[in-house]
Amino acid sequence: MDNIVELVNKYGFPIVMAVGMGFIIKYVWEWATKEVKPVISDANTVLIALIDRIRMLDNDLIRLNQKVNTVLHLRGKTIEHERVEAEKEINKKLESESKKKVNEDDHLASAGES
């Protein structure tokens, strides 16, 4: 402690504090470059790996979505085709029933005239 008082008396308070700040700055710089920088570098590597995985998952989701859309589209066409075929069958049945009824009506009408 006496040593610091002698330095302040000899060089002045601002000069002694400037030298002290220099030592603090040197200590912080060494701490940041030796301890913090490697940790940040490792974290950066992990972050890049995670970003790559997220991109791969995003691409997988896009491909899966396209496949689902294709399946839904094809299934929709199949359902529409089945509906059209069923409608044709119903129309054929109705048409044959109406022809049968017309034939019966004609037969009854011709039998009634005789």
Task: Quote the percentage of the chain above a pLDDT of 90.
Answer: 60
Closest CA to 77 of 66, 65, 85, 67: 85
> Which pair of structure tokens corresponds to residue 57?
């998952």
What count of other Cβ atoms lies within 10 Å of the Cβ of residue 65?
A: 10
The phi and psi torsions of 12 (rounded to 5 degrees) equal 100, 150
Cβ-in-10-Å burial (0-12, 13-18, 19+) of 7 comes to middle
C-alpha R_g of the chain:
46
Task: Quote the percentage of the chain above a pLDDT of 70.
Answer: 91
Tokens 């995670």, residue located: 50
Q: What is the pLDDT of residues 23-65, one digit of tens each?
A: 999 999 999 999 999 999 999 999 999 999 999 999 999 999 9
Closest CA to 74 of 66, 85, 84, 86: 66
